[in-house]
Chains A and B, each alone.
Chain A
Amino acid sequence: MSKHLLKFTVNGKDQALVVESHERLLDVLRDRLGLKGTKEGCSTGDCGICAVIMDGKLVNSCLVFAIQARNKKITTIEAIGTAENPHPLQRAFIKYNAIQCGFCIPAMILASKNLLDHNPSPTDEEIKEAIRGTLCRCTGYQSIIKAVKAAAIEMKK
């Protein structure tokens, strides 16, 4: 296995790490950088639970080799909001009960944020399209769609 120097930006902070060719972005984020908010649901790119934003695109971090993130900007759930200052999406997810078991929620919020970054006034269909790759088994998605719409309105205020 060859080793590589990986320089990239994670949640606004520059990082430099030595990684092996086969290391997944998911493992580097969770195990090397301690960002446990990114979850692992299937390891085959089917559930979308491990999604992060890479240079403005939502990617499944289980399918991305860490070295593919070289010189890129990664955003994980840890950079979205804090308990004291939650993101409007986070507030709306709580208000509309768009959370049950919570396991898909980091990815769901990132998918929604990535949508709103590019499209501040999405329709229901556009929201469904944006989160179609992120599975949720608890909520039935309806409350999530409501929350995203409400957050979009809130963010324009």
Chain B
Amino acid sequence: MIRMVHDEYSNRSQQTLVGKNVERVDATDKVLGKPIYSMDILPENCLYLKVVRSTHAHALLKKIDVSEARRYSGVVLVITAADIPGINESAALLPDKPLLASEKVRFSGEPIAAIASHDPTVAEEALNLVKIDYEDLPTIFSPLDALKPDAPKIHHTGNVAKHLKLRKGDVEDGFRQADYVVEGTYRTQFQEPVPLEPESGFVIPEPDGSVTCVGSMQSPFHVQTGIAKILSLRADQVRVIQAATGGAFGPKSDEMPVDILGMAAIVALKTHQPTALAYTREESMIGHTKRHPFIIKLKAGVKKNGRLTAWEAELVADTGAYASLGPLVVTRALFHATGPYEIPNVKSDSYCVYTNNTMAGSFRGFGGPQSHFAAESHVEEIAKKIGMDPLEFRRINMLRPGSLTATSQVVDEGCGLKECVEKVVEASSWERKRSEFVRQTGAIRKGIGIAILYHGNSLGPEGNDFVAAHMNIDKDGTIRFRTALTEYGTGAPSGLLQIAAETMHLPMSYFKLEPPDTDYCNDAGPTVASRTTAVGGRAAQLVAGKLHQRLKEVAAELLGSTVDLIETSNASYYTRESPQRVVSYLEVVKEAYKNGLELKAHDTFTAPKCEYEPETSQGTTYLQYTYGAVTAEVEVDTETGKVQVDRMVAAYDVGKAINPLAVEGQIEGGTLQGLGYAIMEELVHKDGTVLNPNLADYYIPTSKDIPEIKSIIVEYPGQLGPYGAKVIGEPPVVLPAAAIVNAIDHAIGVRLTEIPATPDRVLNYLRKKN
């Protein structure tokens, strides 16, 4: 059993700020259009970089001739791998990806050289002057081909970046107990994250040979480590500052900011000039990580009474030319491959496989959407096989307190799955619509579908889960809050201030969120896995608690009392004995400054380590779980194949909503991103070349595509987060695909085993059926 770190701050009965709708602290700058993003704050006389990219998917680089580009008027510098002072690496987990390819390219679009000019147009014109001799190598574009024994190797380590196993009970025995065995294969596509701000940043060379790197990013300390390695500098010689970041969704956590700032830093050091690099939309879509396409084979054993007896899963993920965080994506996918059901016997294998496609990696959901699409489609087929209502089937098998997950983790009392299901069933008028819609005739058919999830919270198997936070109080009472956890749209850092303010019984107006800066913050780990509120919130409490204690000590002196007798509320300090004698927060701060007392604190919260058996994946894989249920109502045009989503109801057990307004924002935005995944978004590769790297040919939902989305918050406190809070950043993107595809099946009696459900695909399936 994992011992949780005791939470002394979250008195769950009396909060004045937590649980209330609070305006985010970065809102005013954003509505006014203030210059806050990297490209708004470029230094004067900046050099601009443009990147020379491979036009071959898999080839040896025989010769790179930059001489003509170097001579082009206005070009200041051309760099290749030979100009890297340190290690030629910009990778996430395995040391497999170079910053600039030198011997070999593994995907079409891989960076080979960069050209610097004060005029970006000149740098762009010079791109075609770099002459590269390629010697083509055999290519692989399907992960199944890559797994064949005679497949050409993309990396010398082989084509499998990770194979992970999960073994629970005896799956053969489980199949023997089953009355029916149901098999199916499900396929998902490359989904492009599309943060609206493409990757960008700039580097300032400092007189002492160090560099200051400013950019759009999720994880400043990952960037610092990466840049130091590339430049052969110590970490303290690389200062990294996060600029306001215009969306991220995953790709800005790993290689991309290191690529951008790494190339810029090499040029900045060589030329002693500030250097900027901003990717075009096309470069962003080709270069950064996307959602892994998966091929998922499922085989389930079930009894006539609806009880699942066995579940076998094989998940193969195409990670493209480089692993990125693919090995961890297939880990999360494996752990969630049964969906949120209790099954006594499970055998699952997941593979992260190299191909010569573009790179897949971190993207909101991180393996969850693929696993749940397959599992939540498959349970419908199982229910159909035994003639049971799919909702009833879910009610029989779904996780509840006391259940054992696929990894044999005991589900604790903090499980609101049942309530989520009942809430969406009621709010969607499920029973009525299920029976009404099947009686329709005509070309346009309506359907309603459901899907349910669990989502492991904390980094779990993905790394050490710690967050550092810092606070100091200025003379005027302003409290500066710093952490290296970043704001890239979620609003979660505002929630940290809310939690700190709650802890100190102060209004939020005293708090100021400082930008993440490696010179002024300790490492907080990456801003990924929706961890800001759950883990960062605990750090905020620790630091706020320390300062609160110190202020109470000063107040005690002012009141002639002792610290343990001091009460606080709403920025005032008093004793229970004489509550009419009050000193204000500002008076206490003034007194502290007068006495030379330091009003500064920092601390690190470290979550317990997850423990599980690596050969079987049995044990505690995550510290708590978010649960959820989603219904989708669709209209399918059987003549054109067009699917329109009319209504969605989404209920999530978030433990405790620190800021309900922000939780709803995550649910609404994630649901629409999941809707895009379900019916319209697919980055298409042909022989390794991306055919639609632009927003005219790659569709994301517009305001005209939105359904009516109803968000429902359910609160079953978890063990990890402050006030029992669970994560909500990622979960909303997980279920829409399954819920929508299940609704399509309800509407037209066709089971799509692949997404997106584009008109042509829906028509093809309809034709096959008729």
Are A44 and B694 in contact (CB-based, < 8 A)? yes
Q: Are B694 and A101 in contact, with the CB atoms below 8 A?
A: no
Q: Among A42, A77, A94, which residue has its beta carbon within 8 angstroms of that of B28?
A: A94
Cα–Cα distance between A77 and B34 once the two chains are bound (Å)? 9
Q: What residues of A have a CB within 8 angstroms of the CB of B107 in the complex?
A: none
B40: chain A residues within 8 A (beta carbon): 36
Rounded to whole angstroms, the CA-CA distance of A155 and B661 in the bound complex is 24
Answer whether residue A83 sits at the interface, using C-beta atoms and an 8 A cutoff.
Answer: yes
Q: Count residues on chain A whose CB falls below 8 Å from chain B CBs.
A: 54
Question: Which residues from B are CB-within-8-Å of A109?
Answer: 31, 33
Partner among B27, B28, B703 whose Cβ is within 8 Å of the Cβ of A141 = B703
Central interface residue in A41, A49, A89, A106, by most chain B CB within 10 Å: A41
Interface 1/0 per residue, B33-51 and A, CB below 8 Å:
1111101110000000000
B720 interface residue (CB < 8 Å to A) = no
Cβ-defined contact, B696 with A140, below 8 A? no
B32–A81 CB distance below 8 A = yes
Interface hits, A85-126 → B, CB 8 Å = 86, 89-90, 93-97, 99-106, 109
CB-CB under 8 A from B21, the residues of chain A are 97
A-B contact pairs, 14 of them (CB 8 A): A39-B196, A43-B281, A47-B196, A83-B32, A100-B669, A101-B197, A101-B247, A101-B488, A102-B30, A102-B489, A128-B706, A131-B703, A138-B665, A143-B665
Give chain A residues whose Cβ lies under 8 Å from the Cβ of B706: 128, 140-142
Q: Decide yes or no whether B246 CB sits under 8 A from chain A.
A: yes
Q: Select B709's contact among A99, A104, A134, A142, beta carbons within 8 Å.
A: A142
- The reply to whether the CB of A135 lies closer than 8 angstroms to some CB of chain B is yes
Contact A83 B37 (CB under 8 A): no
Given A44-B696, A86-B28, A105-B33, check contact A39 B671 (CB 8 Å): no
**Min distance, Cβ B102 to any Cβ of chain A, angstroms:** 30
Q: How far is the CB of B421 from chain A (nearest CB, A)?
A: 22
Residue in A closest to B26 when the chains form the complex, CB atoms: A102
Residue pair B244, A102 in contact (C-beta under 8 Å): yes
Q: Is the CB of A95 within 8 A of B33?
A: no
- Cα distance, A34 to B701, chains bound together (Å): 32
Known: A44-B696, A143-B668. A132 touches B702 (CB 8 A): yes
Decide: A99 near B669, CB < 8 A? Known: A42-B695, A137-B195: no
Q: 7 tightest CB-CB pairs across the interface, nearest first?
A: A37-B33, A103-B246, A101-B489, A102-B30, A77-B33, A140-B668, A46-B695
Are B31 and A105 in contact, with the CB atoms below 8 A? yes
A139 at the A/B interface (Cβ < 8 Å)?
Answer: yes
A61 at the interface (CB under 8 A from B): no
Closest chain B residue, CB of each to CB of A145: B703
A136 contacts partner chain B, Cβ-Cβ < 8 Å = yes
Contact: B31 with A99, CB < 8 Å?
yes
Contact call A97/B665, Cβ cutoff below 8 A: yes
A120–B195 Cα distance when bound, in Å, is 32
Known A41-B198, A97-B664, A135-B702; 12 more pairs at CB < 8 Å: A37-B32, A46-B281, A97-B491, A99-B31, A100-B665, A101-B248, A102-B26, A105-B31, A109-B31, A137-B673, A139-B665, A141-B706
**CB-defined contacts of B703 to chain A, threshold 8 Å:** 127-129, 131-132, 134, 136, 141, 144-145
Q: Measured between C-beta atoms, what is the minimum distance from A42 to chain B in Å? A: 4
Residue contact A101 to B195, C-beta cutoff 8 Å: yes
- Docked CA distance A137–B706 (Å): 12
Please give, as numbers and ranges, the residues of chain B lying within 8 Å of A141 by CB-CB distance.
672, 701-703, 706
Say whether B323 faces chain A, with CB atoms less than 8 Å apart.
no
Which residues between 51 and 94 of chain B lie within 8 Å of chain A, taking CB atoms? none
In the assembled complex, A2 has its CB within 8 A of some CB on chain B: no
Q: Once bound together, how far apart are the Cα atoms of A89 and B672, in whole Å?
A: 23
User: Does A154 reach chain B (CB closer than 8 Å)?
Assistant: no
Q: A78 CA to B29 CA in the complex, in Å?
A: 11
Q: Which residues of B contact A77 (CB under 8 A)?
A: 32-33
Alpha-carbon gap, A36 to B668, bound state (A)? 29
Q: How far is the CA of A43 from the CA of B695 in the complex (A)?
A: 10
Taking the closest CB of chain B, its distance from the CB of A31, in whole angstroms, is 9
Q: Tell me whether A41 and B31 are in contact (CB under 8 A).
A: no
Report the minimum CB–CB distance from A60 to chain B (whole Å). Answer: 12
Residues of B within 8 A of A (CB): 21, 23-24, 26-37, 39-41, 193-198, 244-249, 280-281, 488-491, 661-662, 664-665, 668-673, 694-696, 700-704, 706, 709
- Give chain B residues whose Cβ lies under 8 Å from the Cβ of A104: 196
Q: Tell me which of A78, A94, A136, A137 contacts B33 (CB under 8 A).
A: A78
8 Å CB contact of A47 from B35, B249, B669, B695? B695
B411 to chain A, nearest CB (A): 30
CA distance A127 to B696 in the complex (A): 22
Which chain B residues lie closer than 8 Å to A129 at the CB level? 703-704
Given contacts A39-B197, A128-B703, A132-B702, contact A82 B668 (CB under 8 A): no
A137, B248: Cα distance in complex, Å: 10
Set of chain A residues within 8 Å of B673, measured between Cβ atoms: 137, 140
Contact A128 B704 (CB under 8 A): yes
**CB <8 Å contact, A93 and B31:** yes
Q: Quote the shortest CB–CB distance from A48 to chain B (angstroms).
A: 9
- Out of B29, B31, B33, B695, which one reaches A44, CB within 8 Å? B695
Q: Are A95 and B34 in contact (CB under 8 A)?
A: no
Contact between A132 and B668, CB atoms less than 8 A apart: no
Chain B residues near A142: list those with CB within 8 A: 668, 706, 709
Q: Contact between B669 and A140 (Cβ–Cβ < 8 Å)?
A: yes
Residues in chain B near residue A106, CB distance under 8 A:
33
Q: Could you say which residues of chain B place their CB within 8 Å of the CB of A136? A: 196, 703
CB neighbours of A134 from chain B (8 A)? 703
The CA of A76 and the CA of B196, in the complex, are separated in Å by 19
Cβ of A42 and Cβ of B669 under 8 Å apart?
no
Most central of A37, A90, A100, A129 by chain B CB within 10 Å: A100
CB-contact partner of A97 in B36, B247, B280, B662, under 8 A: B662
Query: Are B249 and A137 in contact, CB atoms less than 8 angstroms apart?
Result: yes
Contact of A99 with B280 in the complex, beta carbons under 8 Å: no
Q: How far is the CB of A63 from chain B (nearest CB, A)?
A: 12
Encode A58-82 as 1/0 by CB contact (under 8 A) with B. Answer: 0000000000000000001110111
- Report Cα–Cα, A39/B216, bound state, in Å: 14
Residue among B193, B664, B668 with max Cβ neighbours from chain A (10 Å) = B668
Q: Which residues of B contact A83 (CB under 8 A)?
A: 28, 32
Q: Once the chains are docked, how many angstroms separate the CA of A96 from the CA of B248? A: 22
Name the CB-closest residue of A to B23.
A94
Bound complex: CA A43 to CA B248 (Å): 19
Specify which chain A residues have a CB less than 8 angstroms from the CB of B672 in the assembled complex: 140-141
B residues within 8 A CB of A143? Answer: 664-665, 668
CB B117 to nearest CB in A, in angstroms, measures 15
Inter-subunit contact B702/A101 (CB<8 Å): no
Complex: how many Å from CA A131 to CA B23? 23
Closest to A106 in B: B33
Query: What chain B residues lie within 8 Å of A101 (beta carbons)?
Result: 195-197, 245-248, 488-489
B696 near A139 with CB under 8 A, answer no
